[in-house]
């Protein structure tokens, strides 16, 4: 087996270990709620614990009422049976997505804001006392899917469910829609198509409209408006749901402070007015939002603005309306039992909300009232839940049952209406307590998995560090060449088998987690055995390293430690964008300073003439570093703000207008031209082989397309209707597909090289001027060195590696520009430019510090750290934040309204981690640039002869793969270390106030970034492998 | 007058004096700043008396070093107002050109520090006063002493090589490094959400620079005591 593949296998192994230990931790940290499949049913009056009160007048029985009665009562309803009342009420639900409370609430003072006081119908109804307005508090995560789930089931979706937003799937838990269908009621739904995904086949009629295109403010709302009034007039339904998305999309696109918001809200106002005018006397209208929005119009987190939306209830029938309790603020899940009570269907089994219907009844009626049903249902749910698993702490469970017992005693003693009111207050308190217990439990962690994940990740990183860094390179090469790898993979296969056997014989319950744990342990054993066998060499090597270690190494270690310990502090995580930028600049400038300290020694050695040259090189490097710093500072402009930084950080979505898209088009054109000129200068744009052809023509085509798209797309809204959206979208789709295809082509045929063999030179037929030109050029070159025997001429061999990477960088830049949208397109140019500058600076500094040619083949830690900081920084630089509202969903709909959620999901992930992807794919540049510099800028390479450029790489294979491996492994370890620290901070802060807002999202984003980095970094390694093999085969061809 | 060409015990002595005077005076000064909470004004123009004080202190040290340096040369021994004459003479010999050059260098360094602060994350123009005062402080602590003791024409060389040829130079380089490292470290507290008045830009960085400056002098002082070669505080043997 080839050496390069052995190294690749080792990298694969290492990444598998790191990834699985992260997954192991994640499984423990992001716990799921167990879903119970029990459904509520309509039972007889026996099932409401009537017997308990059969002789309520009898004082003696009262005294004899025992704990067992409450238990018996609960047992009788444990199958979910409830008593259902008759009802002929019908319900109209107008769900206005992201309707924040202050959009509805009237305030006189702030008329200037576009979202204030626009829903005048609601205001009128409230004034004429024919409606009720509530503050409607949602539970985080405030994403539409989770909210719909919560509204219909009445339960609290846990944090992990937020991740499944893309895999929208049917709700299997007991819910309102299922109950309605089961009790022969019919539901009509229109609007957001998430409903049909959640409840396929449940609706009498359904008018779904695509919800994914967040830039489309009107399609869904217009569709609903067409169908709404006719449907209301049909009257063959019991529940009608209309889900408007315009307000939400307006928030995502423009934010709440925009004239468009005013237009959408006025439109909603009109819709509500229409509905009120056509609805019949026996129906109730609910208007509410599923969540609010932040100041920038996004949602997903748990800030006040996001969770507070509004609920407005209206009915022409005053008696129905008077039943609604008049409280200021209710929980969103309280709507579930309320609707059940109104419609006379059983409350969904896993509901935790409490009904807001008033109780006006005596004791006999009370026990058949919705509130008592609610209490019974919630208590039986929590009993069933605690029977299933041990998540609920027994003491709080006992306390709850005691309360329930107390409540039953109170109900027995109801004498008059005052007592009823008192009891209903108590019952509500009880339900609240129950909900809080559940809330506490569902953010509870599996500490065993967590600690295993932490320990394994740490050990993996530490042992891998010894392998990569601690071993002398010769020793490591021997190990790689030996059977070590086979032992390793054998151990993994063996442990998989063992785990499987254990699983079959029921020794372990969770196959996945045990698999992770056992394979990790087995590999660690193999690692540590190998290390202990080679301990003498390692210790010696460390000893030598410790002697020669420079101050710069210590400084870089301090910087890395500083930056990673920042993850423990919530304010550092919040402000991480500036912190990372600070660290990046510091490490950059320290690298630049490191150059000087070495050069002074050179001056002493080589005398004054040399001094002059070196000074000029250093001056240029300093200028480059200044340019790089300025580029980074400019990219601050593109940062997004977190909810937590609101006071200091101002980010306006509407600050970009279409002059910017013009500018980015021009900049892109210039960038492409320059990159093509560079390629031309080094002979990588000669001939017509597929990769050359691609790099010659396609970037221009792509830039034209994307430029057209940006300009057309950013035109003012009033000019929009003339453009057909799907045709407009063809442009970015074309760019995306072409770029991805081109990158694939570079993997298949990586060389941008043109060559003329000896025979071709002799018998040439000049068919065109180009080949004549090439021939003349070849002759000239031959003339200039006459003594050299006739040899083949190859164009661009000295920059064979970097040319391919430059081409790939151009296409990646296009992809990222398209995905980031026209407002942030420029930042992708900044990214690529800063990466190129960084490689030049680092390569020059390394040259000035290298003592032998062997040094060129090893990328030192400080270069890797600079690169890593750059990747961390540009996550923020491209306008991202490690929060869920901060995700740029716009990217998802670039591929259109495709039903599958896979492609949009991939696009959003690529958009979010574009910086990490670019840095991972271009990582080999750090290694290659050392040799490119010998051709591009010979002055900077000192006295070491690198005139052959990157051809040296292909010649010295052993060094090449060792160097590539250590670079890749170091980068992986650097990123893995970050993940480890974020894991540690998430587990230390697992009871912190901010855990779900700051630390858990940070961990999720860090580990996602790591998971995304791994495949791309392996791909970049593969690309280098491809280039080397192609060069080798080329040499074979030329030799023959 | 630049003290570049001289070596030997006198320079060590001057360095020792430098360290010890800075340590004593600036420690007291910083205590005063701390206890009457003047340090909270580090970002506003109203702190200029402190800057003046720092300048005067630096000048005094320099003057003393000049006297110490030339006290054996016997020229001014018996004249009154010898100090002023000495200074005047120095200015005359090294030329006004040098003087103006120094002013330009100090001014330029303020701009460079301002740009650096902006690159590292300060607002471009919004907090002009704060950033300007911060860069003023840095150049006063690092470049101003250099101008006095090295001479304007030799500064670029010293800065680009960072190699010390004598005790004073190594002291100055150490002091630059300490000041910059202090300013860098000071930024650590800025992101924290404690809402304290001293977290405002540029107070932590200025305080850090100040502390770094003093600490580097302490370190040098300790080094001088530990080092076996410098025994100048012992009574000199008469030859």
3-state SS, B173-234, equals HHHHHHHHHHHHHHHHHCCCCCCCHHHCCCHHHHHHHHHHHHHHHHHHHHHHHHCCCCCCCC
Confidence of residue A610 (pLDDT cuts 50, 70, 90): very low
Closest residue in B to A633 (Cα) is B119
Question: Under 8 Å CB-to-CB from B41, ≥6 apart: which residues?
Answer: B47
Classify B84 as helix, strand or coil. Answer: helix
CB atoms B120 and A570 under 8 Å: no
Task: Write the Ramachandran bin of A879: left for phi over 0, alpha for psi from -120 to 50, otherwise beta.
Answer: left
pLDDT at residue A948, as a whole number: 73
DSSP conformational letter for A346: P
A93-102, A268-277, A299-308, A599-608: least confidently modelled range = A599-608
User: Under DSSP, is residue A92 helix (H, G, I), strand (E, B) or coil?
Assistant: strand
Q: Is the pLDDT of residue A932 over 90?
A: no
pLDDT at res. A674:
92
* Residue, of A97 and A299, whose pLDDT is higher: A97
Burial class (CB in 10 A: 0-12, 13-18, 19+), A233: exposed
Cβ-Cβ pairs closer than 8 A, A with B, add up to: 39
Q: At A42, which helix (H) or strand (E)?
A: strand A41-43
- Which are the contacts of A823, defined by CB distance < 8 A and separation ≥ 6? A656, A660, A661, A714
* Closest chain B C-alpha to A542 CA, distance in angstroms: 29
Q: Are A303 and A643 in contact (CB under 8 A)?
A: yes
CATH 3.30.1360.10 fits A90-163+170-345, yes or no: no
* A562 vs B contacts (CB less than 8 Å): 188
Rg for chain B (alpha carbons), in Å?
Answer: 19
Is residue A985 helix, strand or coil? helix
CB of A600 less than 8 A from some CB of B: yes
Does B193 sit within 8 Å of A571, measured CB to CB? yes
Helix then strand count (H, E) for chain A reads 41, 12
Please state, in angstroms and rounded to a whole number, the distance separating the CA atoms of residues A674 and A35: 58
3-state DSSP assignment of residue A17: helix
Give chain B's contact residues with A (Cβ, < 8 Å).
118-121, 160-163, 184, 187-188, 191-193
The rounded distance, in Å, linking the Cα atoms of A94 and A244 is 7
Q: Is B149 helix (H, G, I), strand (E, B) or coil?
A: helix
DSSP secondary structure code for residue A100 in this structure: B
pLDDT for A744: 92
Greatest distance between any 2 Cα atoms in chain B: 65
**A1019: phi > 0 → left, psi -120 to 50 → alpha, else beta; which?**
alpha
Q: CA of B189: which chain A residue's CA is closest?
A: A572
CA distance to partner chain A, nearest, from residue B161 (Å): 7
What is the spatial distance between Cα A231 and Cα A720, in angstroms, rounded to a whole number?
Answer: 31
Kindly list the residues from chain B whose CB atom is less than 8 angstroms away from the CB atom of residue A579: 191
Q: Which residues pair with B231 in a beta bridge?
A: none
Most confident of A461-470, A714-723, A765-774, A866-875: A866-875
B75: helix, strand or coil: coil
- Residue A972 and residue A967: Cα distance in Å, rounded? 9
Average pLDDT of span A203-226? 83
How high is the pLDDT of residue A607? 47
Tell me: pLDDT of A910 over 90: yes
Mutation target among B184, B187, B193 for the A interface, most CBs of A within 10 A: B193
A562, A596, A629 member nearest B119 (Cβ): A629
A99 near A394, Cβ under 8 Å? no
Distance CA A637, CA A603 (A): 42
Q: Counting beta carbons within 10 angstroms of the beta carbon of residue A548, is it exposed (0 to 12), middle (13 to 18) or buried (19 or more)?
A: exposed
The three-state (H, E, C) secondary structure of A150-194, written as one string: HHHHCCCCCHHHHHHHCCCCCCCCCCHHHHHHHCCCCEEEEEECH
> CA geometry: angle at A84 spanning A78 and A90, to 5°?
135
A612 contacts in B (CB within 8 Å)? none
Tally the residues of chain B: 239
* A467 sits in which H/E element: none
Write out pLDDT tens, residues B108-152.
999 999 999 999 988 888 888 999 999 999 999 998 888 888 777
A582 and B121 within 8 Å at the Cβ level: the answer is yes
Radius of gyration of chain A (CA): 34
Q: What is the DSSP string of B18-74?
A: HHHHHHHHHHHHHHHHHHTTGGGGTTSGGGHHHHHHHHHHHHHHHHHHHHHHHGGG-
Mind listing the pLDDT tens digit for each residue in A375-396?
Answer: 888 888 888 888 777 667 778 8
A815 pLDDT band, cuts 50/70/90, is: very high
Q: Cβ(B183)–Cβ(B209) under 8 Å?
A: yes
Question: Greater confidence, A467 or A44?
Answer: A467
Contact residues for A913 (Cβ-Cβ < 8 A; gap 6+):
A875, A1008, A1009, A1012, A1013
Contact B119 A630 (CB under 8 A): yes
pLDDT beyond 60 at A56:
no
Rama region for B81: left / alpha / beta (φ>0; ψ in -120 to 50; rest): left
Q: Given a cut of 60, is residue A608 above it in pLDDT?
A: no
Going by C-alpha positions, the residue among A695, A666, A690 that lies closest to residue A679 is: A695
Contact predicate A113/A257, CB 8 Å:
yes
Q: Does A575 touch chain B (CB under 8 A)?
A: yes
The tens digit of pLDDT for each residue in A701-710 reads: 999 999 888 8
CB A885 within 8 A of CB A299: yes
Residues whose CB is less than 8 angstroms from the CB of residue A784 and which lie 6 or more positions away in sequence, other chains included: none
The minimum CA-CA distance between B156 and chain A, rounded to whole Å, is 12
* pLDDT of A830 above 90: yes
Distance of CA A489 to the CA centre of its chain: 32
Q: Report the DSSP pairing between strands A308-314 and A283-288.
A: antiparallel
| Residue B191 to residue A615, Cβ atoms within 8 A | no
Which of these ranges, A585-589, A635-639, A870-874, B180-184, has the smallest mean pLDDT? A635-639
DSSP string for residues in A60-78: HHHHH--HHHHHHHHHHTT
Task: Please tell me if residue A635 touches chain B, with a CB cutoff of 8 Å.
Answer: no
**Chain B interface, best mutation among A552, A556, A568, A578, by max B CB count within 10 A:** A578
Q: Which residues contact A157 (CB under 8 A, 6 or more apart)?
A: A33, A139, A141, A146, A149, A150
Top mean-pLDDT range of A438-452, A486-500, A536-550: A486-500
Q: Mean pLDDT lowest for which of A5-19, A576-590, A726-740, A885-899?
A: A885-899
How large is the ipTM? 0.88
User: What is the 3-class SS of A116-149, one letter each residue?
Assistant: CCCCHHHHHHHHCCCEEEEEEECCCCCCHHHHHH
- Rounded Cα distance between A105 and A126, Å, is 10
Any idea where the domains of chain B sit in the sequence? 9-39+47-68+81-226
* CA-based nearest residue in chain B for residue A627: B119
CB A562, CB A580: distance < 8 Å:
no
Q: Are A971 and A864 in contact (CB under 8 A)?
A: yes
Q: Check if the beta carbon of residue A257 is closer than 8 Å to that of residue A107.
A: no
> Do A578 and B192 make contact, defined as CB atoms within 8 angstroms?
no
User: Are the beta carbons of A596 and B161 separated by less than 8 Å?
Assistant: yes
Q: A583-618 in b/e burial notation, b at 16+ Cβ within 10 A? A: bbbbbbbbbbebbbbbbeebbeeeeeeeeeebeebb
Contact yes or no for A600 and B161 at CB 8 A: yes
Q: d(Cα A1026, Cα A531) in Å, to the nearest integer?
A: 32
pLDDT exceeds 50 at position A167: no
Average pLDDT, chain A: 81
How far is it, in rounded angstroms, from Cα A966 to Cα A473?
Answer: 10
Three-state secondary structure of A482-532: CCHHHHHHHHHHHHHHHHHHHHHCCCCCCHHHHHHHHHHHHHHHHHHHHHH
**Backbone dihedral region of B165: left (phi > 0), alpha (psi from -120 to 50 degrees) or beta?**
alpha
Strands A187-192 and A283-288: unpaired
Beta strands A90-96 and A239-244: pairing type?
parallel
Nearest residue of chain B to residue A576 (CA atoms): B191
Would strands A131-137 and A308-314 be described as parallel, antiparallel, or unpaired? antiparallel
3-state SS track over A598-610: HHHHHHHHHCHHH
DSSP 8-state class, residue A637:
G
**In chain A, % of residues over pLDDT 70:** 82
Q: Which residue of B has its CA nearest to A634?
A: B119
């Amino acid at each position: 087996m080839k050496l390069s593949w052995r190294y690749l296998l080792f990298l694969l192994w290492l990444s598998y270990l790191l990834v699985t230990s992260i997954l192991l931790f994640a499984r423990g940290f992001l716990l799921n709620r167990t879903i119970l499949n029990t459904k509520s049913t309509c039972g007889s009056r026996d099932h409401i614990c009537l017997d308990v009160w059969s002789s309520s007048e009898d004082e003696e029985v009262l005294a004899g009422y025992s704990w067992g009665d409450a238990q018996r009562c609960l047992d009788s309803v444990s199958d979910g049976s409830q008593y259902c009342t008759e009802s002929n009420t019908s319900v109209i639900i107008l769900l206005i997505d992201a309707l924040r409370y202050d959009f509805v609430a009237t305030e006189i003072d702030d008329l200037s804001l576009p979202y204030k006081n626009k829903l005048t119908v609601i205001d009128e109804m409230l004034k004429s006392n024919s409606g009720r307005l509530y503050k409607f508090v949602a539970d985080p995560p405030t994403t539409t899917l989770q909210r719909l789930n919560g509204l219909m089931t009445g339960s609290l979706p846990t944090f992990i469910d937020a991740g499944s937003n893309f895999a929208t799937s049917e709700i299997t838990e007991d819910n309102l829609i299922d109950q309605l269908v089961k009790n022969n009621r019919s539901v009509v739904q229109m609007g957001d198509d998430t409903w049909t995904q959640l409840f396929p086949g449940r609706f009498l009629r359904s008018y779904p409209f695509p919800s994914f295109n967040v830039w489309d403010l009107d399609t869904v709302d217009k569709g609903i408006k067409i169908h709404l009034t006719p449907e209301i007039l049909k009257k063959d339904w019991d529940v009608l749901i209309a889900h408007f998305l315009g307000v939400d999309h307006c928030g995502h696109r423009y934010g709440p402070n925009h004239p468009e918001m005013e237009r959408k809200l006025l439109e909603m106002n009109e819709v509500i007015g229409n509905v009120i005018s056509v609805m019949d006397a026996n129906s109730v209208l609910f208007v509410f939002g599923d969540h609010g929005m932040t100041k920038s119009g996004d949602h997903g987190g748990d800030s006040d603005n996001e969770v507070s939306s509004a609920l407005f209830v209206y009915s022409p029938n005053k008696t129905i309306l008077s039943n609604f309790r008049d409280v200021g603020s209710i929980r969103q899940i309280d709507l579930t039992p309320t609707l059940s009570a109104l419609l006379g269907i059983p409350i969904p089994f896993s509901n935790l909300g409490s009904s807001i219907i008033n109780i006006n009844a005596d004791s006999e009626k009370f026990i058949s009232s919705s509130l008592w049903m609610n209490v019974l249902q919630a208590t039986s749910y929590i009993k069933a839940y605690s029977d299933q698993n041990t998540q609920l702490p027994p003491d709080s469970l006992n306390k709850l049952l005691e309360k329930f017992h107390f409540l039953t005693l109170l109900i027995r003693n109801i004498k008059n209406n005052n007592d009823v009111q008192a009891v209903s207050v108590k019952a509500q308190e009880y339900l609240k307590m129950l909900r809080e217990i559940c809330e506490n439990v569902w953010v509870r962690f599996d500490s065993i998995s967590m600690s295993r994940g932490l320990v394994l990740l740490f050990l993996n990183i530490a042992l891998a560090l010894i392998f990569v860094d601690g071993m002398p390179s010769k020793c490591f090469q021997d190990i790689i060449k030996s059977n070590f790898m086979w032992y390793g993979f054998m151990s993994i296969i063996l442990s998989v088998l063992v785990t499987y056997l254990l699983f079959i014989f029921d020794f372990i319950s969770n196959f996945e987690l045990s698999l992770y744990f056992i394979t990790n342990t087995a590999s660690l054993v193999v690692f540590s055995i190998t290390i202990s066998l080679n301990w003498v060499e390692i210790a010696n090597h460390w000893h030598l390293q410790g002697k020669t270690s420079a101050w710069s190494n210590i400084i870089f270690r301090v910087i890395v430690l500083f930056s990673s310990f920042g993850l423990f502090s919530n304010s550092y995580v919040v402000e991480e964008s500036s912190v990372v930028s600070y660290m990046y600049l510091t490490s950059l400038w320290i690298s630049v300073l490191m150059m000087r300290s070495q050069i002074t020694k050179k001056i002493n050695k080589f005398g004054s003439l040399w001094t002059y040259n070196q000074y000029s090189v250093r001056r240029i490097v300093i200028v480059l570093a200044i340019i790089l710093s300025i580029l980074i500072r400019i990219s601050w402009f593109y940062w997004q703000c977190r909810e937590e930084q609101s006071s200091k950080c101002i980010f306006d979505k509407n600050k970009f207008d279409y002059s910017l898209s013009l500018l980015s088009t021009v900049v892109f054109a210039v960038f492409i031209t320059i990159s093509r000129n560079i390629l031309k200068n080094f002979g990588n744009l000669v001939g017509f082989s597929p990769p050359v052809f691609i790099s010659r023509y396609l970037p221009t085509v792509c830039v034209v397309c994307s430029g057209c798209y940006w300009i057309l797309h950013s035109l003012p809204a009033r000019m929009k209707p003339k453009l057909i959206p799907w045709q407009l979208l063809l442009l970015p789709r074309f760019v995306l597909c072409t770029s991805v295809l081109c990158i694939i082509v570079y993997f298949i045929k990586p060389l941008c090289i043109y060559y003329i063999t000896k025979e071709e030179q002799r018998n040439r037929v000049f068919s065109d001027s180009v080949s004549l030109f090439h021939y003349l050029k070849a002759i000239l070159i031959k003339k200039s060195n006459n003594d050299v025997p006739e040899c083949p001429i190859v164009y661009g061999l000295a920059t064979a590696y970097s040319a391919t990477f430059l081409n790939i960088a151009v296409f990646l830049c296009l992809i990222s520009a398209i995905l980031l949208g026209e407002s942030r397109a420029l930042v992708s140019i900044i990214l690529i430019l800063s990466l190129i500058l960084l490689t030049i600076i680092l390569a020059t500094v390394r040259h000035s510090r290298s003592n032998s040619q062997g040094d060129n083949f090893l990328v030192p830690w400080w270069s890797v750290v600079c690169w890593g900081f750059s990747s961390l920084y540009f996550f923020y630089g491209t306008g991202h934040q490690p929060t869920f509202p901060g995700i740029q969903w716009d990217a998802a709909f670039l591929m259109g309204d495709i039903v599958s959620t896979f492609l949009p999901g991939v696009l959003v992930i690529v958009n979010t981690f574009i910086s990490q992807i670019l840095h991972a794919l271009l990582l080999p540049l750090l290694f290659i640039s050392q040799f490119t510099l010998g051709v591009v800028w010979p002055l900077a390479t000192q006295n070491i002869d690198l005139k052959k450029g990157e051809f040296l790489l292909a010649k010295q294979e052993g060094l090449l793969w060792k160097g590539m491996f250590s670079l890749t492994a170091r980068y992986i370890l650097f990123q893995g270390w970050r993940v480890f620290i974020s894991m540690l901070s998430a587990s230390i802060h697992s009871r912190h106030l901010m855990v779900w807002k700051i630390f858990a999202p940070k961990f999720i984003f860090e580990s996602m970034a790591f998971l995304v980095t791994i495949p791309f970094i392996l791909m970049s390694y593969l690309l280098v492998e491809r280039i080397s093999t192609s060069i080798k085969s080329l040499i074979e061809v030329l030799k023959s | 007058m630049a003290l570049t060409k001289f070596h030997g015990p006198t320079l060590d002595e001057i360095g020792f004096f430098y360290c010890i005077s800075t340590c004593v005076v600036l420690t007291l000064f910083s205590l005063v700043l701390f206890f009457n909470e003047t340090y909270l004004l580090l970002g506003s123009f109203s702190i200029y008396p402190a800057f003046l004080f720092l300048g005067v202190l630096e000048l005094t040290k320099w003057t003393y070093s000049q006297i110490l340096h030339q006290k054996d040369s016997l020229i001014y021994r018996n004249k009154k107002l010898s100090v002023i004459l000495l200074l005047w003479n120095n200015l005359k010999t090294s030329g006004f050109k040098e003087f103006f050059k120094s002013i330009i260098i100090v001014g330029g360094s303020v701009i460079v520090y301002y740009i650096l602060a902006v690159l590292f994350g300060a607002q471009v123009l919004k907090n002009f006063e704060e950033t300007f005062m911060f860069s003023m402080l840095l150049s006063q602590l690092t470049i101003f002493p250099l101008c006095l003791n090295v001479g304007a024409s030799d500064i670029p060389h010293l800065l680009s090589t960072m190699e010390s040829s004598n005790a004073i130079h190594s002291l100055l380089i150490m002091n630059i490094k300490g000041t910059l490292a202090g300013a860098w470290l000071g930024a650590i507290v800025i992101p924290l959400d404690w809402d304290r008045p001293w977290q405002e830009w540029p107070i932590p960085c200025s305080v850090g620079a100040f502390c770094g400056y003093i600490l580097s002098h302490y370190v040098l002082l300790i080094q001088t005591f530990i080092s076996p070669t410098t025994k100048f505080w012992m009574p000199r043997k008469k030859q």
